[in-house]
Chains A and B, each alone.
Chain A
Amino acid sequence: MITLRSLTKRYGARTVVDDLTFDVEPGKITGFLGPNGAGKSTTMRMVLGLDQPTSGQALVGGRRYAELRHPLREVGALLDAKALHPGRTAEKNLLAMARSNDIPDRRVGELLEKVGLTEAARKRTGAFSLGMSQRLGIAGALLGDPKVLMFDEPVNGLDPDGVLWVRGLLRSLAAEGRTVLVSSHLMSEMQLTADRLVVIGKGRLLADAPIEEFIASNSVSAVHVRLPDAGDRRALAERLRRDGAEVDLPSDGELVVRDIPVERVGDAAHALGVRLHGLSPRTASLEQAYLELTASAVEYGVSERTVGV
């Protein structure tokens, strides 16, 4: 369990993480979503005690990271896969890591095998591709068999096989009852992996909800109808409204119909005998919803601050 309470980080006048409060619960994958620069990595660094919060708290299992006697056995994290001495081999790197927390040396071989780096164990990490570095970072995160895991953009640089492998791994970690926090700037990735979504923009919490709830409240579907005749357009609009639809007339020759399926719109047109030039269902993607959500946060952030000053 990760607990953030009013977590805030400022660099001078710039607020990077702004009063974040949320919990990351065990047994599920929590997607931590936001555009680049939204404060995801800074938040994770504060959980690990690498950055000092300006105010507020980040706790793991109720304690600060620095208070954990063997932190790697309680929290596994992959933040920056390339933050390693390039001249050290994968194996020696994990060996030093294991020894720092009194984790048995044999775990190193086990983990290298698990992430598919056994062949590359004796290679210097400077020669690793980003994908291999990510795998090594994941091995490091799992080394101490921790209950809490944090991954910052773990599929970055992985090939499609690797991406599938990471998704499966995250699923199984959550299924084992572990707390899993995964950041990404891609909604599409989160849609496939996360059980719960925490969305931030400009350091602020924008949404914190189960993924189904987020999808339900943020994805809007509509039917677009194109008709050449203005009279037909009015008639069809009237008919659909009577059927309980919400109808917009955004431009000449077009209707946007919400709340009823495309089949019923087609049937209504047929019944009225109106000529159609187009009839198409459109679902605003979750990606779009997410972009709108984060974009507006930027605007609100600016205007509120202006008012505050």
Chain B
Amino acid sequence: MAATHAEWTKLWSVRSTWWCLGSAAVLMVGQAVATAFSESTEIPASRIAVDGVFYLVQFVVLALAALFVAGEYGTGGIRSTLQWVPVRRRVLAAKCAVLAPTLFVVGVVLAALAIAVSVPLLNERVPGTPVGEAVRTALAAGAYCALLGVLTVGVSVALRSVAGALTVTFLLLLVAPLLLGGMGLVAVLDYLPGIAGVNVMIGEGELSPLSGNPVPYNEFAGLGVLAAWVAAALVAGDAVLRRRDA
């Protein structure tokens, strides 16, 4: 608990955290308003929120987590962190314990905000978003942001640099789907972390805007796919953190 309390204090005592969250909110609301306002928009408010998470918010989540964790290797702060809490797995757990709930709330609030500002602006041709669907989308967005943050913790500790962590997560989220899609491996796409996240947010059977196929599994299976990626990143991070000198 003490280690988590310390990490919580650290997270909220640097400006980059506030910048990240502020810009995520501005980007999300801005794109929701712009999309909803457009006459050509045909997607419901819940889908506007999903687009906002996938194309904008998730990158802010990556930046926030990478700066918080990998950033310590740049400043040398990691040596202080490990001096304060020498059990390295405890440090890793504390970072996750701080980021996951924070990013869950961020995802829920931003998705809800995007839906709330979109609904009154959308033209009458677009199907409405029932409250249940809005709630489901927001919770899924929160879960996706939380898991993505924890995945970035693992990658950051494994690579020990902000640039490295951002490169790898970008490749995984954006470039890998393009490459594999281009190679015709469409069936694999649904098991990449970014696509799985979108699948969780839009729900089973819906047509995925990214793969073009109906989502082949329900939300919980989708979260399972994400959790597997998170686990792999944490195992890699844990192995590096325990072996390397600080």
Partner of B5, one of A48, A51, A99: A99
Q: Taking chain A's interface residues, is the majority helix, strand, or loop, or is none over half, making it mixed? A: loop
Q: Taking chain B's interface residues, is the majority helix, strand, or loop, or is none over half, making it mixed? A: helix
Task: List which A226-255 residues lie within 8 A (CB) of chain B.
Answer: none
Identity of the chain A residue whose Cβ is nearest the Cβ of B83 in the assembled complex? A48
Identify the A interface with B (CB < 8 A): 45, 48-52, 65-66, 68, 70-72, 77, 79-80, 82-89, 92-93, 95-97, 99-102, 140
By a CB distance below 8 angstroms, the chain A residues around B10 are 85, 88, 92, 96
B80 within 8 Å of A (CB atoms): yes
Q: Are B84 and A97 in contact (CB under 8 A)?
A: yes
CA–CA, A187 to B176, complex, Å?
Answer: 59
By a CB distance below 8 angstroms, the chain B residues around A48 are 83, 86
Most chain A CB within 10 A, of B3, B72, B80, is at: B80
B246 within 8 Å of A (CB atoms): yes
Would you give the shortest CB distance from B229 to chain A, in whole angstroms?
28
Q: Are B245 and A66 in contact (CB under 8 A)?
A: no
Q: Are A84 and B77 in contact (CB under 8 A)?
A: yes
B79 within 8 Å of A (CB atoms): yes
By a CB distance below 8 angstroms, the chain B residues around A93 are 13
7 closest A-B pairs by CB: A83-B76, A100-B6, A92-B13, A100-B84, A96-B9, A66-B86, A51-B245
By a CB distance below 8 angstroms, the chain A residues around B77 are 83-85
Given contacts A80-B79, A85-B72, A140-B80, 7 further A-B pairs with CB under 8 A are A79-B83, A84-B75, A92-B13, A96-B9, A97-B6, A100-B3, A101-B2
CA–CA, A93 to B13, complex, Å?
Answer: 8
CA–CA, A96 to B12, complex, Å?
Answer: 10
By a CB distance below 8 angstroms, the chain A residues around B243 are 52
B82 within 8 Å of A (CB atoms): yes
Q: Known interface pairs A48-B86, A87-B15, A88-B13. Does A79 touch B3 (Cβ–Cβ under 8 Å)?
A: no
B71 within 8 Å of A (CB atoms): yes
B26 within 8 Å of A (CB atoms): no
19 residue pairs of the A-B complex, CB under 8 angstroms, read A50-B246, A68-B86, A71-B86, A72-B83, A80-B76, A82-B76, A83-B79, A88-B14, A92-B9, A92-B13, A95-B9, A97-B80, A97-B84, A99-B6, A100-B6, A100-B85, A101-B2, A101-B84, A102-B2
B218 within 8 Å of A (CB atoms): no
CA–CA, A102 to B85, complex, Å?
Answer: 11
